[in-house]
Structure 1
Amino acid sequence: DIIVVGAGVAGVSASIAAAEQGASVILLDDSHGGGATALSGGVVYAGGGTDQQKAAGYSEDTPENMFRYLKEETKDAVDEETLRAFCNGSVSRLEWMQRHGAKFEGSLCPYKTSYPTDKHYLYFSGNEKSHPFSKIAKPAPRGHRMASPGFSGGALWQALFKSALKLGVRVLPTSKVERILLDDQGVTSGVEFKSLNTSSKAFQRHKTLTSLGQQHQLLLPNLAARILDRADTLWKRKALASKLNAPAVILAAGGFAFNPAMRQRYATDFSKVAPLGTRGDDGSGIRLGQSVGGSLRKMDNMSAWRFLYPPTALLEGVVVSQAGQRFIAEDIYGATLSDKMIRQNDSKGFLVLDSTQWAKAKQQLYQQTQSPLLLQRLHWLIWDHKKAPSIEDLATQLDIVVDVLRQTVVEY
Structure 2
Amino acid sequence: MSEAAPIRPIPADQVGEWAYEADVVVAGFGVAGAAAAVGAAQSGADVLVLERTGGWGGAAAMAGGFIYMGGGTPVQKACGFEDSVDDMKAFMKAALGPGTDDAKIDVYCEGSVDHYHWLADECGVPFKMSFWGEPGWEPPADDGLQYSGGENSAPFSTTIRPAPRGHIPQMQNKRESAERGGGYMLMKPLTDKAAELGVRSEYDMRVQALIVDADGRVVGLRAKQYGKDVDVRARRGVVLATGSFAYNNQMLESFAPKMVNRPAASIEEHDGRAIQMAQAIGADLAHMDAAEVAYFCDPQLFTRGILVNGRGQRYINEDTYPGRVGQATLYENQNQSFVVIDEAAYEEGASRPTATPELRHRPTWVAETVEELEAEMGLPAGALQSTVEVYNRHAEQGVDPLFGKKAEWVKPIGTPIAAIDMRGLTGGFTLGGLRTSVDSEVLHVTGDPIPGLFAAGRCTAGVCAGGYASGASLGDGSFFGRRAGISAAKN
TM over 0.5: yes
Question: 1:51 aligned to 2:83?
Answer: no
Per-residue deviation, 1:50: 0.3
Alignment of structure 1 residues 96-245 onto 2, 5 Å: 96-98=118-120, 99-149=122-172, 150=174, 151-196=181-226, 239-245=227-233
Of 343, 347, 358, 1:375 maps to 358
Per-residue deviation, 1:145: 0.3
Summarize deviations over 1:156-186 as a string: whole Å, max 9, x none.
Answer: 1111001001101111111011010001111
Greater strand fraction, Structure 1 or Structure 2: 2
User: Relative contact order (alpha carbons < 8 A, sep ≥ 6): 1 or 2 greater?
Assistant: 2
Per-residue deviation, 1:307: 5.7
Question: 1:322 aligned to 2:313?
Answer: no
Q: Which residue of 1 aligns with 2:465?
A: none
Structure 2 SS opposite 1:402? coil
TM (norm. structure 1) is 0.84
Q: Verify the 8 A CA contact 2:304 2:346 in the aligned structure 1.
A: no
Per-residue deviation, 1:113: 2.0
Let me know the Cα RMSD of the aligned residues.
Answer: 1.5
Structure 2 SS opposite 1:305? strand
Q: Verify the 8 A CA contact 2:139 2:146 in the aligned structure 1.
A: yes
Structure 1 SS opposite 2:162? coil
Gaps of 5+ in 2: 1-22, 175-180, 392-491
Q: Which residue of 2 aligns with 1:231?
A: none
Alignment of structure 1 residues 222-371 onto 2, 5 Å: 239-246=227-234, 247-306=236-295, 308-311=297-300, 314-364=302-352, 368-370=353-355
Q: Which residue of 2 aligns with 1:226?
A: none
Q: Which residue of 2 aligns with 1:202?
A: none
Q: Verify the 8 A CA contact 2:135 2:303 in the aligned structure 1.
A: no
Question: 1:405 aligned to 2:384?
Answer: yes
Structure 2 SS opposite 1:331? coil
Distance (whole Å) between structure 2 residues aligned to residue 273 and residue 191 of structure 1: 31
Q: Structure 1 residues 390 and 274, CA, compared in 2 at 3 Å: closer, same or farther?
A: farther
User: 1:358 corresponds to which letter in structure 2?
Assistant: Y
Give percent identity, aligned residues only.
31
Distance (whole Å) between structure 1 residues aligned to residue 263 and residue 207 of structure 2: 26
User: 2:73 corresponds to which letter in structure 1?
Assistant: T
Structure 1 SS opposite 2:25? strand
Summarize deviations over 1:131-154 as a string: whole Å, max 9, x none.
Answer: 111123211111110101323111
User: 2:33 corresponds to which letter in structure 1?
Assistant: G
Summarize deviations over 1:249-282 as a string: whole Å, max 9, x none.
Answer: 1111100111122112210122242433111111
User: 1:276 corresponds to which letter in structure 2?
Assistant: A
Q: Verify the 8 A CA contact 2:296 2:359 in the aligned structure 1.
A: no
Structure 2 SS opposite 1:177? strand
Structure 2 SS opposite 1:81? helix
Q: Verify the 8 A CA contact 2:126 2:185 in the aligned structure 1.
A: no
Structure 2 SS opposite 1:69? helix
Q: Which residue of 2 aligns with 1:224?
A: none
Q: Structure 1 residues 110 and 340, CA, compared in 2 at 3 Å: closer, same or farther?
A: closer
Distance (whole Å) between structure 1 residues aligned to residue 133 and residue 310 of structure 2: 33
Q: Verify the 8 A CA contact 2:132 2:143 in the aligned structure 1.
A: yes
Q: Which residue of 2 aligns with 1:218?
A: none
Distance (whole Å) between structure 1 residues aligned to residue 155 and residue 296 of structure 2: 19
Per-residue deviation, 1:402: 2.6
Summarize deviations over 1:334-390 as a string: whole Å, max 9, x none.
Answer: 2211112112211110110111111212222xxx214xx11232xx03xx6222222
Distance (whole Å) between structure 1 residues aligned to residue 346 and residue 309 of structure 2: 20
Q: Verify the 8 A CA contact 1:105 1:144 in the aligned structure 2.
A: no
Structure 2 SS opposite 1:262? helix
User: 1:180 corresponds to which letter in structure 2?
Assistant: L
Distance (whole Å) between structure 2 residues aligned to residue 385 and residue 122 of structure 1: 34
Distance (whole Å) between structure 2 residues aligned to residue 143 and residue 385 of structure 1: 33
Q: Verify the 8 A CA contact 1:391 1:402 in the aligned structure 2.
A: no
TM (norm. structure 2) is 0.71
Per-residue deviation, 1:308: 4.7
Q: Which moved more, 1:399-408 or 1:110-119?
A: 110-119
Summarize deviations over 1:12-53 as a string: whole Å, max 9, x none.
Answer: 001100100101111111112211101101111100000000
Per-residue deviation, 1:310: 3.7
Distance (whole Å) between structure 1 residues aligned to residue 142 and residue 182 of structure 2: 13
Distance (whole Å) between structure 1 residues aligned to residue 376 and residue 225 of structure 2: 54
Q: Which residue of 2 aligns with 1:13?
A: 35
Per-residue deviation, 1:76: 4.2
Distance (whole Å) between structure 2 residues aligned to residue 400 and residue 49 of structure 1: 48
Q: Which residue of 1 aligns with 2:5?
A: none
Gaps of 5+ in 1: 197-238
Q: Which residue of 1 aligns with 2:94?
A: 72
Distance (whole Å) between structure 1 residues aligned to residue 28 and residue 166 of structure 2: 24
Q: How many residues align?
A: 359
